[in-house]
Amino acid sequence: MEILSYSSEYANAFKELNLEWLNKYFWVEPHDEEVLGNPERYIINPGGSIFFVKEQDIIIATVALMKIKEGVFELTKMAVSPLYQGKKTGQKLLEHCIAFAKKKGWDHLIIYSNRKLENAVYIYKKFGFREIPIEKNNPYARGDIKMKLNLS
């Protein structure tokens, strides 16, 4: 298993992995379509990062760190191929993101999620994310929980 940084050759994998889980559990929102359709514009160019997990020449997972403001990034668009779920791939990707954010000296990470995704929420808590109040106009209609991880 290898963790890679964004390259345009993986842009389609970023989109497809995310569309797969969104369609399975929820629906694809306009905000998702924009970001997934142009990750360089919405994530990379403003100062964010996208990572991929590659195993035997196949991209099996992805996650993004989207800049909200200086020192504050949203951990978003995390997706693991169903064939590779249950193998701690997401946890390894989460560990990588936290270490990356700490190395960059960021203040904190936030996550918007949904309580329906019990395993994901459990893992976020396991890694130190704590629930904070969610704003009324959060960017995701499906989002019913917001979490924060202090990095300092």
Q: What's the CATH number where 109 sits?
A: 3.40.630.30
Residue ranges making up the domain that contains 125: 2-150
Alpha-carbon distance of 95 to 129, in angstroms, equals: 12
Alpha-carbon distance of 25 to 124, in angstroms, equals: 18
> What are the tens digits of pLDDT across the range 71-109?
999 999 999 998 888 889 999 999 999 999 999 999 999
Average pLDDT for residues 129-152, to the nearest whole number? 90
> What are the tens digits of pLDDT across the range 22-53?
998 888 888 888 899 999 999 999 999 999 99
Return the pLDDT at 30. Answer: 84
**Number of domains into which the chain is organized:** 1
Alpha-carbon distance of 6 to 59, in angstroms, equals: 12
pTM: 0.93
